[in-house]
């Protein structure tokens, strides 16, 4: 069931109850669905139609990165734009209570219940505890819980983001110029770095080498995060131009489709030099344009609320963490009862049980720690000390509530294996 929310003709998105925004929930639900389809179609017995539908689903992680960059960058830059300091301690505590409890629970399952693993081999425990599993990761030497690589990328991003943004100043003109220069430098630097690694380090006759050297390391996967941070900076520092841009949401959607289709075509040979260098920024640009369109007050993505995407978005982090374990267990049990593991029936059962497990994790694990987090941080994890009265300030305060309350986007979601 859907309903329309107010917003047409306004430059200010109207959030859902609890501070959620329709457009971001749709994108989050799409990203996790796309990734789960990709994993199901590449790692498990599956109906033939699943593989085709989820063939580009590995890119869902890039959408998650873009959303995380936008939401986390926006939280911090909003303070800088008001001339305030970045509250690094509050930011780190926020991230800890949002991510670590459910993550540690999943790690515990993988290491205490080996039969639940989707693959027998797994990297050493210390790599998961230190968020270094994505560095030097070879799928052939330990494939279980491989999707934790993107969590590592985001944790590294969260670690350095407050320091990086604080170093750029309080958001005055010279600070914005430095910000633009820094983003361009990192994006171009990432392209050059991937090209050098591709030439010098990748064994082109051995796909896991590309996966290890290019796909997983943090320094190779900053494109989506930077696009998201750039979108937040544009919204905060030049609100008039932002409002003008969001009124052109049909063009934004068309541009998003163009870049994503280009990324899809490039990805038909993912280990090639061309895709390695420009494929990731092309896809990140496509998802960045989609993000801005979803925030546009007149866009149907913002104006339409769907209960199903709201729920899936809310459970997306737990679903991301646990879905491989659940699918593996369900398929094993179905196989023992004589059901065809590659059937649509088993696929539906696997997805339903995965959603149920994610709901349980959210209710019993995620939500209690979110309540504890808000209690420790005074109920306003990263909120500014005074109201933002600049142009577009209402939009920014609403976005801040969305990012700081029931949280944002999570992540992580891999795809690609």
> pLDDT band at residue 178, thresholds of 50, 70 and 90?
low
Quick one: pLDDT at residue 13?
55
**Which residues contact residue 352 at a Cβ distance below 8 angstroms, ignoring those fewer than 6 apart?**
none
For residue 175, what pLDDT is reported? 53
Q: Which of 152, 124, 185 lies closest to 61, judged by CA?
A: 152
Residue 75 in this model has a pLDDT that exceeds 50: yes
Cα(362)–Cα(345) distance, rounded to whole angstroms? Answer: 26
Whole-prediction pTM value? 0.86
CA distances, 171 to each of 92, 154, 378 (Å): 22, 24, 26
- Going by the DSSP 8-state scheme, the letter that residue 274 receives in this structure is H
Domain ranges of the chain: 2-404
Measured CA to CA in angstroms, residue 296 lies from 15, 94, 109, 157, 281 at distances of 12, 27, 41, 27, 23
Alpha-carbon distance of 335 to 82, in angstroms, equals 59
Distance between CA atoms of residues 135 and 385, nearest Å: 39
* Cα-based distances in Å from 244 to 235, 247, 321: 11, 5, 38
Confidence (pLDDT) at 144? 94
Integer angstrom CA distances of residue 345 from 37, 53, 335, 349: 15, 17, 12, 6
Q: Would you say residue 231 has pLDDT above 80? A: yes
pLDDT digits (tens, 9 = 90+) for 80-97: 888 888 888 899 999 999
Q: Could you give the CA distance from residue 138 to residue 384 in angstroms, rounded to a whole number?
A: 43
State the helix-helix crossing angle for 60-81 and 223-237, rounded to 10 degrees. Answer: 40
């Amino acid at each position: 069931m859907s309903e329309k929310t107010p917003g047409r003709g306004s430059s200010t998105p109207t959030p859902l109850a609890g501070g959620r925004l329709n457009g971001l929930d749709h994108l989050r639900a799409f990203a996790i669905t796309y990734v789960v389809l990709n994993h199901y179609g590449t790692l498990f017995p599956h109906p033939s139609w699943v593989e085709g539908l989820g063939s580009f689903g590995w890119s869902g992680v890039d959408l998650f990165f873009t959303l995380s960059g936008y939401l986390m960058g926006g939280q911090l830059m909003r303070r800088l734009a008001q001339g305030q300091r970045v509250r690094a301690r509050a930011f780190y505590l926020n991230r800890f209570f949002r991510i670590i409890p459910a993550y540690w629970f999943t790690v515990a399952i993988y290491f205490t219940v080996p039969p639940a693993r989707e693959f027998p081999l797994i990297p050493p425990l210390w790599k998961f505890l230190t968020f270094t599993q994505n560095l030097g990761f070879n799928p052939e030497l330990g494939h279980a819980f491989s999707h934790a690589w993107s969590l590592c990328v985001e944790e590294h991003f969260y670690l350095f983001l407050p320091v990086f943004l604080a170093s750029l100043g309080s958001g005055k003109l010279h600070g914005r110029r430095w910000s633009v220069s820094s983003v361009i430098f990192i994006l171009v630097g990432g392209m050059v770095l991937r090209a050098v690694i591709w030439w010098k380090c990748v064994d082109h006759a051995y796909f896991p080498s590309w996966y290890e050297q290019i796909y997983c390391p943090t320094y190779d996967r900053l494109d989506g995060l930077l696009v998201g941070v750039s979108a937040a900076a544009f919204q905060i520092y030049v609100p008039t131009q932002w409002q003008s841009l969001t009124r052109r949401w049909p063009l934004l959607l068309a541009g998003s489709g163009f870049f994503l289709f280009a990324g899809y075509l490039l990805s038909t040979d993912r280990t090639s030099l061309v895709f390695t260098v420009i494929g990731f920024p092309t896809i990140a640009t496509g998802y960045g344009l989609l993000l801005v369109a979803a925030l546009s007050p007149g866009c149907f993505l913002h104006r339409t609320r769907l209960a199903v995407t709201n729920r899936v978005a809310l459970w997306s982090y737990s679903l991301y963490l646990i879905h491989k374990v659940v699918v593996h267990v369900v398929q094993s049990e179905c196989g023992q009862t004589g059901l065809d593991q590659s059937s649509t029936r088993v696929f539906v059962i696997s997805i339903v049980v995965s959603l149920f497990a994610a709901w349980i994790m959210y209710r019993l694990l995620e939500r209690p720690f979110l309540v504890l987090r808000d209690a420790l941080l005074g109920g306003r994890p990263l909120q500014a000390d005074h109201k933002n009265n600049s142009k577009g300030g209402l939009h920014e305060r609403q976005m801040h509530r969305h990012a700081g309350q029931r949280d944002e986007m999570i992540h992580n979601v891999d795809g690609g294996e």
